[in-house]
Amino acid sequence: MLISYVVPAYDAATTIGRTLNSVFAEYLPEGLSAEVIVIDDGSSDGIALARAVDHYPGARLLVHDVNRGMCAARNTGIFASRGDLVAILDADDELTPEWPKTLSAIMDEWPAQNEVCYAACRNPDGRVTAQDPDYRGPLTLSDILNERKSGEYMPLFRGDYVRSRGYVDLGLRKSCGIVSYIRFALDGPFWVSNRILRIYHEGRGDSVTFEWTSPAKARETALCYAALFERYDDLFQREAPRVWRTKQLRLAVYLRFAGMPNAWKQWRKAASFFCFKESLGSLLILAMGSRAGAWIASTVRDAGLIKRYG
């Protein structure tokens, strides 16, 4: 069995070595092999990145002449992959020690009818980045829409399946993964494994937890939410009406952080006693203005009063 690790890289020459070391440092048992496809997504440090990748015979580098964004880079790697399995890995994250043993255990439990598996992650401090760290089992479309079992996972795909589908590329630098994962879930349930396969480094420039209230990051998130509602608004209203409202309220907040128009109009559209706490919280953030509101939101998130992952 061949597993293909797809690694988008943007200005990641100083961190890619750690990622590749974690893949190739482990002994691979008979019957398992690995390839890593690194995609230079228009980096300014492309020469240094190429030199770093060149140290690893099992890795190959593909190059975008200009920055095309996370999903475009993932798709370039996916469509070039050859693996029976395809896994998405970030350019400064690592696989856990003895990952081949963990992967083998995941494969034993992953039902053949599920095309997608979410493998658990932890941060460098050992915190599992999932809402329910002990959960193992199916993840349905309804679960995803209603934000059940949410968190930061490592996606694994059956190779032929993901090469036939790819990610939805919205032309954004960030992945806006929710649009793609809903599309994947429309094909059938995922499998969730509580076995930890990836060490997720928070605070990197492209992570969901780094400067998430900055105008640039907020604009990308607002555009992501707008695309999500354009495609799946009716689905959310029918299957997850409360989450539909809370996401609409989040969009209002991100519009405010980004300095984009219609934040108050968006809030009025979604505010309801049905989600009183979220309506009030977003109202206060909007009323405080972008700087003070962003500080409050970050403080509340760091305190764990709103979810950190997913």
Is the Cβ–Cβ distance between 63 and 46 less than 8 Å? yes
User: What pLDDT is attached to residue 285?
Assistant: 87
User: What pLDDT is attached to residue 202?
Assistant: 73
Instruction: Output the CA–CA distances (angstroms, integers) from residue 79 to 4, 75, 161, in the order listed.
Output: 11, 6, 11
d(CA 75, CA 5): 12
pLDDT along the chain (310 residues), means of 10: 97 96 94 97 96 96 96 98 98 95 98 98 94 97 97 97 97 91 98 97 56 83 96 97 96 93 95 92 83 60 51
Quick one: tokens of 226? 């707008």
User: What pLDDT is attached to residue 211?
Assistant: 65
Domains (range + CATH), the chain: 2-199 (3.90.550.10), 215-302 (no CATH)
**Residue 131 Cα to chain centre, angstroms:** 15
User: What pLDDT is attached to residue 208?
Assistant: 45
User: What pLDDT is attached to residue 163?
Assistant: 98
User: What pLDDT is attached to residue 297?
Assistant: 61
Q: Is residue 48 packed enough to be buried (19+ CB in 10 Å), middle (13-18) or exposed (0-12)?
A: middle
